Structure 1
Amino acid sequence: MPARTPEDCDRLFAEHVNAGDLEALLALYEPGCSLVPADGGVATGHAAIREVLGRLVAMRPAIRTEIVKTLRTGDDLAIVYNDWSMTAKHADGTPIERSGKALEIVRRRADGTWRFAIDDPFARG
């Protein structure tokens, strides 16, 4: 299911991560999108983003997102602020808990669907 609103990008992200569906996750990103992983680097393009999201999906996390605010500029560009939390386990069973305050720029495509153009899950702390 494609994102029909800017907020759908985050809702579907959580749904696809929780389902372990890497291909559906990648479909939420523009081909030239940039994603900022936890190490602060930048992954640009589907190949680099696949690597980052593949590691995330492999952890089999449970992710929850809460959309805080959406700012639209015109009909085809928006900034989405969301607070997220994640639980997972290391290979040895040790629990992992992470959270962040994301800022994402999403863009509407010609077919009316929305995709991430820039995704920074740690932008606001």
Structure 2
Amino acid sequence: MTAVREKAAAPEDLARLFVERANAGDLEGLVELYEPDATVALPGGRTVAGQAAIRAAYEQMLARKPEFGAGTALPTLVSGDWAQTASRTDDGGARAEVAHRQSDGTWLIVLDRPFFA
């Protein structure tokens, strides 16, 4: 049976859900936050695209058991069904995402730069 997870009702929910799921080691829950063809920027300048590649990258990340903080959210920019979210991380870095509203009104990440200074 598939776990029923909270969906992002607003673009701002995505960062919170990411932190909660990453800290819980919930790989599939992380992948569910992304559109099927999403692109994620990884440390070292590498990018991955598509849920299978995102799953593989996050599987490696979660194996190290990192601890994520919520950070400080910056104002969200919304234009129709698109939104840009960003936050300052607790370690002085930043993260930014582009999200897309789905037909059911929830939001998923399309472009993600989770770690930059």
What is the aligned partner in structure 1 of residue 60 from structure 2? 55
**Which residue type is aligned with residue 78 of structure 2?**
R
Moved over 3 A (4+): none
Corresponding residue number in structure 2 for 1:37: 42
Unaligned runs of 5+ in 1: 86-97
Contact kept in structure 2, 1:100 and 1:121, CA below 8 Å? no
1:113 maps to which residue? 106
Name the Cα RMSD after superposition: 1.4
Q: Identify, as 1 or 2, the structure richer in strand.
A: 1
Match among 54, 72, 96 for residue 103 of structure 1: 96
1:72 to partner: Cα distance: 0.5
What secondary structure does 1:32 align onto?
A: strand
Kindly state the Cα deviation for residue 100 of structure 1 after the two structures are TM-superposed: 2.5
How far the C-alpha of 1:99 sits from its partner, in A, is 5.5
1:68: which partner in 2? Answer: 74
Task: Quote the sequence identity (%).
Answer: 38
Question: For 2:92 and 2:34, how far apart are their aligned partners in 1?
Answer: 21
| TM-score computed with the length of structure 2 as normaliser | 0.88
Gaps of 5+ in 2: 1-5
Residue identity in the other structure for 1:83: R
The count of aligned residue pairs is 111
Indicate if the aligned counterparts of 1:7 and 1:80 stay in contact, CA closer than 8 A. yes
TM-score of the two chains, using structure 1 as the length reference? 0.83
2:73 aligned partner, one-letter code: I
